[in-house]
Structure 1
Amino acid sequence: MKKLTLFFLSLLVCGLAFQACDNTKTYAEMLEEEKEAIKAFIKDNNIKVISQTEFYRNDSITDTLKNEYVQLASGVYMQIRDKGSKNPADTVKANDQILVRFMEYGLIQGDTTMSNLGFAEVVDEFNYRVTSSSIAGQFTQGLMLSYYQTTAVPAGWLVPLAYVRDMAHVRLIVPSKMGHNTAMQSVYPYYYDIRKYQIYR
């Protein structure tokens, strides 16, 4: 009986030792870290967050002089720097190819992850897909495709397409759930400066 008790006590001590050495974060802790990183970025950059109601009341425009970003229901924060073409017909449609110039900045690590802004010959391209129940984008070339090894366009990149036209310029704070696969797996938020959504037909 003593040997059995000693065996179970040994197992308990080993289990506690392993648990004490485990310094991985829980999903809840990672979500909290993401929330704090977004909050700090907003504060550090003097961003004024407006509601969707205010955004729609202002004809779907963000005041760049006030550094306004609208917080959308998806969790994405969006600033429209330039709506793009003045022609209302120049909107993104199903099966359009979109050319993008962008910069990606990691909010937790605090540095630029990648950018094609400085390379005239490099552009990211994706196909815009629309079904009765969803929208999606599929990369066909560019840095995002080669770096993250996935054709899936971050859902956060597609959000602005409902509000802008050809050649638009937007800035986005994209939470992990609206990001690329790596962002979702790591619960990591990113900031994007997308200088051009060019419709290529």
Structure 2
Amino acid sequence: MKKFLSPIVLLIAIAMGLTSCDDSKSYAELLADENQAVNKFLVEFKVVDGIPADSVFEVGEDAPFYRIDENSDVYMQVLSVGTDEKPEKNDRVYFRFTRYNMFYYVVGGDNTLLGTGNWDSMNTEATFFLFDNTSVSQSTQYGTGIQLPMKFLGYNAIVNLVIKSQAGPTDEMSYVVPYLYNVTYNKSQI
């Protein structure tokens, strides 16, 4: 009997040792890291806690970042308000973007960090969402945060967006990585 228990006790000890050496972070810790990265970025800018009552935004590189959702997952800096024409529900909104992982982005740094996206490539397939329609994957694959500026701005608007993982691309939510986006919205592919 002792010979039989020894291997079992050894296996249990090894299993406990392996699980106790796991250095992975909990989801709560990942969310805390994400909030810290976003706060570290936003502290360098003026932040306005909501949309202006008259919907008139300050515009430009010195404009504040506006919190544009109730969960504080999306912040927008308006670089251009675009045209007076705004999309209606289910309209195709084409967009071009570059995004930067906020864990590596440094405000005021040399910004040699390469962003990803389709901003400077005319060879990529058109990227669009159906405005205010979250029932189709074409509209949700980039997350809900990318659509929010179009509730307030017109076509041809250009914005910088801080998007936390919960409002980001659906297939990346579990990574808990915040991104800084530079986005332009258009009515057509051109």
TM-score, scaled relative to structure 1: 0.74
Does residue 164 (structure 1) correspond to residue 187 (structure 2)? The answer is no
The 8 Å contact of residues 107 and 191 in structure 1, kept in 2 or not, is answered as yes
SS in 2 for 1:23: coil
Tell me the CA shift for residue 129 of structure 1. Answer: 4.7
Post-superposition shift, 1:158?
0.7
Task: Please report how far the alpha carbon of residue 21 of structure 1 lies from its aligned counterpart in structure 2 after TM superposition.
Answer: 2.6
Of 183, 187, 190, the match for 1:199 = 187
Taking only the aligned residue pairs, the percentage that are identical comes to: 24
Q: Any residues of structure 2 matched to 1:20-35 within 5 Å, and which? A: 20-35=20-35
The structure carrying a bigger strand percent of its residues is 1
2:32 aligned partner, one-letter code: E
Return 5+ residue gaps in structure 2 as ranges.
106-112
Maintained 8 Å contact 1:107/1:189: yes
Q: Residue 49 of structure 1 aligns with which residue?
A: 47
Higher helix share: 1
After superposition, the C-alpha distances for 1:90-146 in whole angstroms (9 at most, x for unaligned) are 111123222212111111244434133333454642241546xx576716xxxxxxx
Count of aligned residue pairs for this structure pair: 180
CA offset digits 1:52-86 (Å, max 9, x no partner): 1xx3235341353643001231420111111101x
Specify the alignment match of 1:69 in structure 2.
65
Measure the CA separation in 1 of the matches of 2:9 and 2:54.
67
Distance 1:197 1:137 in 2: 19
Q: Aligned to 1:188, what secondary structure does the other structure show? A: coil
Task: Return the TM-score normalized by structure 2.
Answer: 0.78
Offset of residue 181 of structure 1:
2.7
- Whether 2:177 is the aligned partner of 1:175: answer no
CA distance in 1, matches of 2:12, 2:30: 28
Q: Which residue of 2 aligns with 1:115?
A: 117
* 1:157 CA displacement: 0.5
Q: 1:200 is matched by which residue type in structure 2?
A: S
Aligned counterparts of 1:37 and 1:104: Cα–Cα separation in 2: 15
**2:52 maps to amino acid:** Y
1-structure distance, mates of 2:154, 2:135: 17
Equivalent AA in structure 1 for residue 13 of structure 2: V
Which deviations, in whole Å up to 9, do the C-alpha atoms of 1:129-187 show, x marking residues without a partner? 546xx576716xxxxxxxxxxx7232111111100101111110000010013430211
CA distance 1:60–1:11, shift in 2 (3 Å)? farther
- Assess if the C-alpha contact under 8 Å between 1:102 and 1:115 holds in 2: yes
